[in-house]
Amino acid sequence: MASQMDTIHMVSHNLHNQTNHKSSIYNLRNDRCRNWDIDISKLHSKFLPIDIQEIIKIPLANLHRPDIPVWIHNPKRIFTVCSAYQAFSEHKIANSQTSEQGATTKFYNKLWSLNLPGKLKHFLWRAVHNNLPTSDNLLRRKLQVDPTCKLCSKEAESAMHVFNECLYTREVCRNLTIAEEIIKPLDFRDLLESR
């Protein structure tokens, strides 16, 4: 059963007295008593009778202290972007049904927990979402750029090409003794998961 606080109260936008456009429910509060200032003549001059009944039903807190903003998704009750992202992720996980969504969540949790600078994690996230400023993405956004790879000048430049397929990149990896034989992944996420 919904409590009185959970109920949404709708008040008509049509004011009974159209000459007073600054009428608001806030002005009807009696802050000393923390209740409604029920002066019927004042109410009838500003609101329709049906709206007055709805206004009077709205409960006011009996606390004699100022309101403060509170964020319920953080133990310190302070809003942070991190706590908002975590709350959103938890909500998404709670509502997810498929194993694919679970695998995606697991992948992103692993990505964000890597011991790397934030800039690099953001870069990897952009690469996974195919959101790097490569020629193929710039062309898709209707920018006039040369589509070929700036390193090898042979293939079309995409994130997958630059980081996995480009002969120049493969040569650098070989010289750094990074595994040369990479199974060709379908996308950048597969590439990261294969490492």
Judge whether 54 and 9 are in contact, CB under 8 Å.
yes
Judge whether 78 and 71 are in contact, CB under 8 Å.
yes
Domain that holds residue 165: 116-193
Model pLDDT for residues 36-74, shown as the tens digit of each residue: 666 767 777 777 888 878 877 777 766 666 767 788 888
How many C-beta neighbours within 10 Å does residue 21 have?
A: 7
Domain final residue pick, 38, 57, 76: 57
- The secondary structure of residue 8, as a DSSP letter, is P
User: Residue 186's pLDDT band (boundaries 50, 70, 90)?
Assistant: low
Q: Does the residue 32 lie in any domain?
A: yes
Q: Does the residue 90 lie in any domain?
A: no
Model pLDDT for residues 71-127, shown as the tens digit of each residue: 888 888 888 888 888 888 887 766 665 556 667 778 888 888 889 898 988 998 898
Q: Given this model, what pLDDT does residue 86 score?
A: 87
Q: Does the residue 110 lie in any domain?
A: no
Model pLDDT for residues 116-158, shown as the tens digit of each residue: 898 988 998 898 888 999 999 999 999 999 999 999 998 999 9
Q: Does the residue 84 lie in any domain?
A: no
Q: Does the residue 143 lie in any domain?
A: yes
Which residues, 6+ apart, have CB-to-CB distance to 37 below 8 Å? 28, 29, 30
